[in-house]
Structure 1
Amino acid sequence: MNASAEWEDLVSTALVGTDRRPRAGEAAGEIELLGRAAVHTLRMRAGTRPVASEPLSVAAPEEQPAVSRAAGGRLARILGGEQPRLLAEWLEVAAGRGYRLSPHLLPELLDHAVRDRSIRSHLGVLSGNRGRWLAGLNPAWSFLLEEVTVAATGSETAPEVWELGTSGDRRAHLAALRAADPAGARELLAVTWEKETPDDRAAFLEVLADRLSLDDEPFLEAALDDRRREVRHQAADLLTRLPDSRLASRMAERVARYVTVVDGRIHVTPPAACDSTMERDGIRAKPPRGTGEKSWWLQQAVARASLGVWPRLLGRPPRELVHMKIVDWGREVMAGWVRATVLQGDPEWARELFAWDPLADLLAALPPAEQEVVAADFVRRHGLDGQLIMVLGGAAAPWGPGLAKAVLQKIISVSETHPWNIGELAKLAGERIDPALCGMAERLSPEPPIQEVAALLRFRHDMLKELH
């Protein structure tokens, strides 16, 4: 019996059972069958001729300094399950300082990045040449070839990178040029714009957000005609941030037809249709499920209008407008103002709207020093619930002494009445408070939740020292 026929016979016997199909002249037991299958498999593998292939290329020599042994050991502990929520912070700090990982840590971290896309942006730097070499051998890790490398983020921004580099290298090259020469970066992108992939066009537009000015308007206005929706909307978002742009003027003309003040109340007439000119300016025609068309179009038009148009149009400052009665369409107008404030980063509107509806995105639109004051006041006045956690997520880290003390005092007060309800707040405090304040937390209270926060701050403090 040849090898193929013998294997088929073994498989058939296994499928129907050795008691129903014993092999002639042999024991019918399962152990005998499995033993023969193992011998057959081994014989077939041993008889396979090696396939002719080219030797693997060698990884390029490393140019970056490696992280210290202590830092690498701490990363291994984090990957092993000790304080796993600190992984992103460790990676961000290490990448920001130009370090590379020890080779033995790369496979586990790259496997982790397959599941968690949020950490990938740091790995282009941290993986070094060895990581990029490994990514070329394992298709599951190929995403690494699209991330920014150290060479691209450093001083070596040769023109060849724009012509021959990966998408990540080219983004880094464009960002470096944008920081030094905004017009030069825009002109470089314009030359190759029609040849870029839709995904790259959208990514490159994000780079233009740095040092954005009216000089960029003609390029962005042309991008409103792009075939890809993501590209059009990215261009519209950038133009929304330019209050003197033509898009801002067109939006001002639209909302002037929708909104008026009568007897101290805001009256709204929503758009009756979404025409092609509105879609070109970034208004999506199809609403999300559960949202009416007119409601959706109105909200987007308000969101894309310059915030400066409202005091001129309605004759009231922001602090009065957010408290005025809006007839029938108040939810849409307010949601549009919130979105516009986030897009345009207007602190005056953010301040007034946060007092009306505390949202993390509005808090983030305030200057960092004011964020701390507003967030600390909110913590003192508000109970511990999901909204408190979400609002604190908008406060820029690291939190200084004022906000840190307000949050720790909240933990102490809640631990006396609802000790089972403070876990997420304690974790957030340990991850966001300036780790240099670990001593202050240790001395503040002997309560276990506070000491747990202090221990996490101490862990971060030591972690950052190792990455110095």
Structure 2
Amino acid sequence: MERWNHIINTALLGTAKKPADAQGLSGPLRQAADTILGNASLDREEQFLHLAAVTYNYRQSGTQPVTAAVPPMTVCTPETKACCPPAAIRVLQPVLETDSIQLLQLWLEYCTKANLLLPPAQLPVMLDKAWRNKSLRVLTAAAGGHRAAWLGQFNPDWNFSRVADTPEERWLNGATAQRVEALKEIRTTDPVIALQWLQQTWPKESATVKTELLGVLEEIPATTDLEWLESLLSEKSKQVKETVMRILKKLPGSSLHEQYWQVLAGAIQLQYDGHVVVALPELNDDPVFQSGIEKLSNNKQVSDETHILCQLISLVHPSRWETHFGRSAAEIMTMFLQQEPLKPFAPALVQAIAWFGDQERAVTFMQQSETFYIDILPMLPPVQQQELSEKFFDEYPEAIIKYAGNHPAEWSVALCTKILRYAATQPYTYNQLFMNNVIRQIPVAIAASLDDIVPSESYHVGYWNNIKVHLGKLLQAKSQLPGAFKKAEGRKAKSPRLQNKTNNYQLTSKAPKS
């Protein structure tokens, strides 16, 4: 109706500039407008509002309501698993209050391992948490049961909560996180089938999903993937091509790997007297530079040639040197550590060992070297990792903390003490969020020593004490997890609990009743 546009214009301009009038009205609506406009007791604003109300209701007259065929709501499939016991539900509340995703993930792992379900009252909260944190989705879907899948149909954010019984079903019908987990599972048992799954659905996937699925192949690269991966270098998506390039660099025998090795084999030669000569040939526009190898050094003390060779050595499997020089792994390590022409490339060899996850040569290298290389640390036996981390912590505190935080193994009490003592000197960096992110690695036994860990600077004391209180809550919840999921019939949980003393983080040996 044109008249309604006049009313909107009046509302925008104001009645002072455009007073309300009966222009364009006819019939009963014109009579009502004349009555309103002729009422001297109404000011211009009131006349306008009355006229707008009458016109609006006139427009609504005779409007038909929208109808739709709404299917009846389906009933949730009855659950076949039991809900977690009251003790576990009691622990869940403080776990949620800490806002630690790691601790919540640990709770969900206990829940799914015990083949139990989340309590219905907490299910919406957990589904929201999982929506915001992908690492929780598969566990939440498993612990949510049929009820979580049923709720997922009413909220698109929760559509990851559909539970599938087999890897094939998860792959075909699951959300992206579930498909990734299904691909990982089948990849470990039958890599050929996993590759077939990818090839069949590849054209239908978005670039983001393709990148996530390729991440499964990147974790454990296989030579059986080579031909297909090489064909993906023509993909349009930049992120997909970059991921493919990274995987190919981890596969000895790929075209990239062989290009790198051809350059190195010509540049580094062993003479008859046992000495090595290093001379990089002129490359100019060699294809290796198109794969991400940098031509120019950003360090004045490192020449461009050395910089190029370091990059190439770090991306070539260390076993190639044994064939090239005709020496054992231990002899190769000694050559890189002792011969002057090769010494600048020893760190690059360390990076190659780490890049290809070569555990055997990592141990060999550390046996030959007097220098500590943190890149090799993850590939050493767990006991040796802890020993070296403790031994060299004072020299490389931040690097070791970064590595230890990314490694899933729980820290020894000695290493944890060193890390927390260092954290107390920089509480604004290693704050409550840091504790949330590493609570899985922090041993519960450290609670008994927290009072002894104090900052060196007095102005850090108050802030650090707040962090310790928060860490105490995390440790208290963590200490209760093992016993919370045990059956309560005739058994008592034997996990220690934290006594609320001073800052609420002193351990006692008394066990709570389930």
Same structural fold, with TM-score higher than 0.5 when normalized by the shorter chain: yes
Per the alignment, in what secondary structure is the counterpart of residue 393 of structure 1?
helix
1:16 matched to 2:13? The reply is yes
Give yes or no for contact 1:371–1:395 (8 Å, CA) kept in 2: no
How far residue 306 of structure 1 moved from its aligned partner, in angstroms, is: 0.9
1:197 matched to 2:205? The reply is yes
Matches for 1:28-47 after TM superposition, within 5 Å = 28=44, 33=49
Counterpart among 361, 368, 380 of residue 366 in structure 1: 380
How far residue 428 of structure 1 moved from its aligned partner, in angstroms, is: 6.8
Per the alignment, in what secondary structure is the counterpart of residue 278 of structure 2?
strand
1:431 matched to 2:439? The reply is yes
Query: Where does residue 342 of structure 1 map in the other structure?
Result: 355
Bigger shift: residues 133-142 or 348-357:
348-357
Query: Where does residue 441 of structure 1 map in the other structure?
Result: 449
**When the two structures are superposed, what TM-score results if normalisation uses the length of structure 1?**
0.68
Matches for 1:127-166 after TM superposition, within 5 Å = 127-142=144-159, 144=160, 150-152=163-165, 156-157=166-167
**When the two structures are superposed, what TM-score results if normalisation uses the length of structure 2?**
0.63
CA distance in 1, matches of 2:12, 2:421: 67
Give yes or no for contact 1:65–1:100 (8 Å, CA) kept in 2: yes
Matches for 1:49-68 after TM superposition, within 5 Å = 49-55=65-71, 57-58=73-74, 60-61=76-77, 62-68=79-85
CA distance in 1, matches of 2:53, 2:338: 80
Query: Where does residue 416 of structure 2 map in the other structure?
Result: 404
Counterpart among 240, 259, 265 of residue 268 in structure 2: 259
CA distance in 1, matches of 2:438, 2:175: 37
How far residue 47 of structure 1 moved from its aligned partner, in angstroms, is: 6.6
CA distance in 1, matches of 2:94, 2:473: 16
1:306 matched to 2:313? The reply is no
Query: Where does residue 466 of structure 1 map in the other structure?
Result: 484
Q: What are the superposed Cα offsets for residues 316-369 of structure 1, whole Å, 9 maximum, x if unpaired?
A: 533552576569x958x845741551332436448659985755x543233322
Aligned residue type for 2:356: L
Give yes or no for contact 2:19–2:48 (8 Å, CA) kept in 1: no
CA distance in 2, matches of 1:459, 1:72: 12
Unmatched 5+ residue regions in structure 1?
A: none
Q: What are the superposed Cα offsets for residues 235-256 of structure 1, whole Å, 9 maximum, x if unpaired?
A: 6666666668887666533321
Give yes or no for contact 1:322–1:334 (8 Å, CA) kept in 2: no
1:377 matched to 2:391? The reply is yes
Unmatched 5+ residue regions in structure 2?
A: 21-36, 456-464, 487-514
Q: What are the superposed Cα offsets for residues 119-144 of structure 1, whole Å, 9 maximum, x if unpaired?
A: 445444344444344444444445x2
Matches for 1:28-107 after TM superposition, within 5 Å = 28=44, 33=49, 49-55=65-71, 57-58=73-74, 60-61=76-77, 62-69=79-86, 71-72=88-89, 75=92, 79=96, 82-83=99-100, 86-91=103-108, 93-94=110-111, 99-107=116-124
Give yes or no for contact 2:432–2:470 (8 Å, CA) kept in 1: no
Per the alignment, in what secondary structure is the counterpart of residue 344 of structure 1?
coil
Q: What are the superposed Cα offsets for residues 38-80 of structure 1, whole Å, 9 maximum, x if unpaired?
A: 9969x96997614212225426424554444554565555555
Give yes or no for contact 1:95–1:126 (8 Å, CA) kept in 2: yes
Give yes or no for contact 1:301–1:336 (8 Å, CA) kept in 2: no
CA distance in 2, matches of 1:317, 1:68: 58
Query: Where does residue 317 of structure 1 map in the other structure?
Result: 332
How far residue 175 of structure 1 moved from its aligned partner, in angstroms, is: 4.0
Alpha-carbon spacing, 1:105–1:68, altered in 2? closer, same or farther (3 Å): same
Give yes or no for contact 1:224–1:233 (8 Å, CA) kept in 2: no
Per the alignment, in what secondary structure is the counterpart of residue 254 of structure 1?
helix
CA distance in 2, matches of 1:191, 1:29: 69
Alpha-carbon spacing, 1:393–1:194, altered in 2? closer, same or farther (3 Å): closer
How far residue 378 of structure 1 moved from its aligned partner, in angstroms, is: 2.7
Give yes or no for contact 1:273–1:294 (8 Å, CA) kept in 2: no
Bigger shift: residues 43-52 or 342-351:
43-52
Structure of larger gyration radius: 2
Query: Where does residue 493 of structure 2 map in the other structure?
Result: none
Give yes or no for contact 1:304–1:340 (8 Å, CA) kept in 2: no
Aligned residue type for 1:461: S
CA distance in 2, matches of 1:264, 1:139: 66
Alpha-carbon spacing, 1:371–1:294, altered in 2? closer, same or farther (3 Å): same
CA distance in 1, matches of 2:128, 2:472: 31
CA distance in 1, matches of 2:98, 2:10: 46
1:224 matched to 2:239? The reply is no
Per the alignment, in what secondary structure is the counterpart of residue 379 of structure 1?
coil
Per the alignment, in what secondary structure is the counterpart of residue 403 of structure 1?
helix
Alpha-carbon spacing, 1:172–1:60, altered in 2? closer, same or farther (3 Å): farther
Q: What are the superposed Cα offsets for residues 92-120 of structure 1, whole Å, 9 maximum, x if unpaired?
A: 55456555444444444444455544544
Alpha-carbon spacing, 1:75–1:424, altered in 2? closer, same or farther (3 Å): closer
CA distance in 1, matches of 2:437, 2:219: 31
Per the alignment, in what secondary structure is the counterpart of residue 225 of structure 1?
helix
Alpha-carbon spacing, 1:36–1:341, altered in 2? closer, same or farther (3 Å): same
Q: What are the superposed Cα offsets for residues 409-436 of structure 1, whole Å, 9 maximum, x if unpaired?
A: 556xx56xx7777646982797144444
